[in-house]
C-alpha cells in the first residue's frame, strides 16, 4: 500500500513510524508546511521518501499512491484540501477527532472517490513513544470496500478497531479533551504550585496513579473524594487563601472555585 | 503498640486494615460518630475491639493506649478534640492533609504531651483496595522521639516516608486536590457526556492511561496537547456548541471555557 503523509505533526509522526514498521505499507511522500518537521520525520524513516512543503506542491496525481493520510491541524483543512489532487482510486483518510468525514470533499473530488477517517483515539507527543496495540481506532468510510480496507489496516496495529460515525467521533473527541488535555492542565497547576514551594512533583505520582486506577476500576462517578464532595468549607477556604497568596496565576483560584462548586452541585 | 482509631471513614478504614495486618500493632478501640461504619470496620478486624460513637464517650484515660489515630473530617476536629481525653504519654496523631499539627492542642493537652501527624498522601475509597508500599507518608511530631516512633511505624508499610512541616503538608494537600479530586471530576464529565450518547467510557481508558504515563515520564508541563494549546478556535467553538446542545449541566461548558482560556494564556 503506497502511502502519502500529508502533515508531519504529532499524530502523523507516530502513525508514519507505525506504518513504516509494517511490510504492507510503503511511505513514498511526506508533505508538511513545516519543512523541518518533514525532514526530521523522513530521517527517521526512509531516505527515498520525497518531501514537499508548499501549498502548490499538493498535486500527487502523477504518483501511484493507494492511500493519503491527512494529518494536519483542523484549522489547515480548508487551505490544504483546496489544493490537494490525488491519483484516481487513491483513498484519502483524515486522522482528526473533530472533523466530519465529508469535509474531505473539499479536495478535488472528481479524482478522490474514496474518502474515510482513520482516527486513533490517543494523545501524541513526539517526545513520548506510544504502544498502539490497545489504542482504539475509529474508522469511517464512504463505502463498504474502503471501510474494510481501513479496518484491515488498523487491525494490523490494534486490537480495538471500531466503526464510528462522524457524529459519534466528535462526541468521543470532546470527551477526550476533558479526560486528557484538561486533566493534564490540572496536573500542570499542581506541578506549578509545588515548584513554587520547592516541593517535588514526584510526591504526587503515586496519588496520580491511584486516582487513575480507581477511575478505571470503579469509574470516575463512583470515585470522587476530597474537600468539595465532603462540603469541607473550612479546608476549601484555606486552599483558596493559599492559592491566592502564592500569586501565581489568577486562573488557579478560578479553576479551584468552579471545580469545587460543580462537584458540590452533584 | 495499642492503638485507638478515632474515625471510621475512608482513611481510617484503610489505615486500620493496614495496622491490623501488622503484628506490632493492636487495635483496641474504634470511635466513630457513624456507629454503622465503626461496626463494619470492627467486623473486618477483630471481634474484641470496643466501639464507641457518642461525643461523651471520648474519654480513653482509663485505657492503656499508646497511640490514637485521629482520622475524621476536618470540620469535626473541634468538636471531637474538645471532648477527647487520652492516657498519659499516649501519642495523638491526625491523618489530615489540611490541618496543622498544633490543632491537636485543642484536646486535653495536660494529658496529651505527644502529638504528631501521620498523613498518607493518597486517595481512599472503601470500595478500592490500595497498595501502601509506594504511598508517601508525611510525618510530623512535636518532639524527636515521637517523630522517630511515627516514622518507624510508617516505614513498616511504605518505602517513602518523609518528615514534612504543617506548612508544606498543606501545600502538598492543595496540589493533591488538583491532581486527584479535580481530575476525577473531569473524567466524570467525560463519562457523563459519553453516557448521554450511549458511548462507552471504556473507549477513553487507553487515553487516560497514556495521558498519565506521559505526565509521569515527561512531566505535565511538557505534555500538553489538544485544541486549546494549538489555538484551534474552530474546534473549540464546535465543542462548546456540542456541550451546550446536550444541555447536561451548564458547568460543563463553563469548565471547558475556563480550562481552554488558561491553557492558551500559558
Predicted pLDDT at A110:
64
State the pLDDT confidence band at A173, using cuts at 50, 70 and 90: very high
The total number of structural domains that make up chain B: 2
Nearest to A255 among B127, B210, B262 (CB): B262
Q: Do A180 and B235 touch (CB under 8 A)?
A: no
Measured in angstroms, the CA of A188 and the nearest CA of chain B are apart by: 5
On the question of pLDDT at A112 being above 80, the answer is: no
Q: Do A207 and B183 touch (CB under 8 A)?
A: no
- DSSP assigned state of B35: H
Measured in angstroms, the CA of A177 and the nearest CA of chain B are apart by: 7
Measured in angstroms, the CA of A79 and the nearest CA of chain B are apart by: 14
- Residues A175 and A160 reside in one and the same domain: no
Judge residue B36's burial from the number of C-beta atoms within 10 Å of its C-beta, 0-12 exposed, 13-18 middle, 19 or more buried: exposed
* Domain's final residue, options A164, A194, A210: A164
Q: Which residues make Cβ contacts (< 8 Å) with residue B50, sequence separation at least 6? A: B28, B29, B30
Alpha-carbon span A170 to A168, nearest angstrom: 5
Q: Do A220 and B185 touch (CB under 8 A)?
A: yes
Q: What is the pLDDT of residues A18-28, one digit of tens each?
A: 999 999 999 99
A16 C-beta neighbours (distance < 10 Å), count: 24
Predicted pLDDT at B111:
65
Which is it for strands A114-120 and A137-141: parallel, antiparallel or unpaired? antiparallel
- Residues A21 and A59 reside in one and the same domain: yes
Q: Which residue of A has its CA nearest to B229?
A: A181
Q: Which of A183, A192, A213, A214 is the best mutation test for B, with the most CBs of B within 10 A? A: A183
A9 C-beta neighbours (distance < 10 Å), count: 20
Q: Do A186 and B182 touch (CB under 8 A)?
A: yes
- Residues B23 and B71 reside in one and the same domain: yes
Domain ranges, residue B199: 170-265
Q: Which residue of B has its CA nearest to A10?
A: B225
CATH of the domain at A24: 3.40.50.720
- Residues B144 and B186 reside in one and the same domain: no
State the pLDDT confidence band at A227, using cuts at 50, 70 and 90: very high
- Residues A85 and A183 reside in one and the same domain: no
- Residues A201 and A174 reside in one and the same domain: yes
Predicted pLDDT at A108:
79
Question: Contact at 8 Å (CB) between A116 and A140?
Answer: yes
State the pLDDT confidence band at A109, using cuts at 50, 70 and 90: low
Q: What is the pLDDT of residues A33-92, one digit of tens each?
A: 999 999 999 999 999 999 999 999 999 999 999 999 999 999 899 999 999 999 989 999
- Residues B30 and B82 reside in one and the same domain: yes
- Residues A96 and A199 reside in one and the same domain: no
Which residues 84-113 of A have a C-beta within 8 angstroms of B?
A: 98
Task: Decide if B244 touches A, using CB distance below 8 A.
Answer: no
Q: Do B181 and A243 touch (CB under 8 A)?
A: no
- Residues A142 and A198 reside in one and the same domain: no
Three cell numbers at A147? 471501510
Q: Do B180 and A207 touch (CB under 8 A)?
A: yes
Predicted pLDDT at B109:
61
* Domain's final residue, options A164, A197, A213: A164
Q: Which of A172, A174, A242, A255 is the best mutation test for B, with the most CBs of B within 10 A? A: A174
- Residues B77 and B139 reside in one and the same domain: yes
- Residues A176 and A140 reside in one and the same domain: no
Give the CA count within 13 Å in the CB-facing half-sphere of A38: 22
Question: Contact at 8 Å (CB) between B193 and B256?
Answer: no
Give the gyration radius of chain B's Cα atoms.
Answer: 22
Alpha-carbon span B190 to B50, nearest angstrom: 44
Which residues 24-43 of A have a C-beta within 8 angstroms of B?
A: none
A78 C-beta neighbours (distance < 10 Å), count: 12
**Is residue B257 helix, strand or coil?**
helix
Predicted pLDDT at B110:
64
CATH of the domain at B237: 1.10.1040.20
From residue B150, alpha-carbon distances to A113, A244, B167 in Å are 71, 33, 19
Task: Decide if B208 touches A, using CB distance below 8 A.
Answer: yes
Task: Tell me which residue has cell 498543606.
Answer: B170
* Domain's final residue, options A164, A184, A208: A164
Measured in angstroms, the CA of B165 and the nearest CA of chain A are apart by: 12
* pLDDT-flagged residues of chain B (< 50): none
Q: What is the pLDDT of residues B93-139, one digit of tens each?
A: 999 999 999 999 998 766 678 999 999 999 988 888 889 998 999 99
Show residues of chain A in contact with B124, CB under 8 Å. 225
Name which of B128, B22, B17, B90 is nearest B30 in CA terms.
B17
Predicted pLDDT at B68:
97
Name which of B65, B74, B137, B69 is nearest B103 in CA terms.
B74
Q: Do B171 and A199 touch (CB under 8 A)?
A: yes
- Residues A182 and A229 reside in one and the same domain: yes
Amino acid at each position: 500500500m503506497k502511502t502519502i503523509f500529508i502533515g508531519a505533526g504529532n499524530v502523523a509522526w507516530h502513525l508514519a513510524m507505525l506504518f513504516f514498521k509494517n511490510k504492507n505499507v510503503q511511505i513514498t511522500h511526506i508533505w508538511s508546511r513545516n519543512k523541518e518537521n518533514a525532514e526530521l520525520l523522513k530521517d527517521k524513516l526512509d531516505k527515498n521518501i520525497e518531501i514537499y512543503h508548499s501549498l502548490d506542491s499538493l498535486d500527487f496525481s502523477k504518483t501511484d499512491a493507494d492511500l493519503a493520510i491527512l494529518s494536519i491541524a483542523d484549522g489547515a483543512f480548508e487551505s490544504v484540501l483546496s489544493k490537494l489532487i490525488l491519483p484516481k482510486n487513491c483513498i484519502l483518510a483524515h486522522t482528526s477527532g473533530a472533523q466530519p468525514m465529508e469535509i474531505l470533499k473539499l479536495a478535488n473530488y472528481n479524482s478522490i472517490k474514496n474518502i474515510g477517517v482513520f482516527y486513533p483515539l490517543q494523545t501524541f507527543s513526539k517526545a513520548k513513544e506510544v504502544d498502539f496495540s490497545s489504542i482504539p481506532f475509529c474508522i469511517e468510510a464512504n463505502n463498504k470496500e474502503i471501510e474494510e480496507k481501513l479496518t484491515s489496516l488498523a487491525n494490523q496495529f490494534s486490537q480495538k478497531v471500531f466503526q464510528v460515525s462522524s457524529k459519534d467521533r466528535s462526541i468521543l473527541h470532546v470527551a477526550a479533551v476533558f479526560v486528557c488535555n484538561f486533566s493534564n492542565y490540572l496536573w500542570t497547576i499542581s506541578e506549578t504550585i509545588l515548584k513554587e514551594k520547592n516541593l517535588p512533583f514526584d510526591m504526587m505520582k503515586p496519588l496520580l496513579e491511584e486516582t487513575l486506577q480507581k477511575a478505571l476500576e470503579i469509574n470516575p462517578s463512583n470515585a470522587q473524594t476530597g474537600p468539595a464532595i465532603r462540603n469541607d468549607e473550612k479546608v476549601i477556604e484555606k486552599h483558596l487563601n493559599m492559592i491566592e497568596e502564592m500569586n501565581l496565576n489568577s486562573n488557579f483560584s478560578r479553576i479551584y472555585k468552579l471545580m469545587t462548586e460543580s462537584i458540590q452541585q452533584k
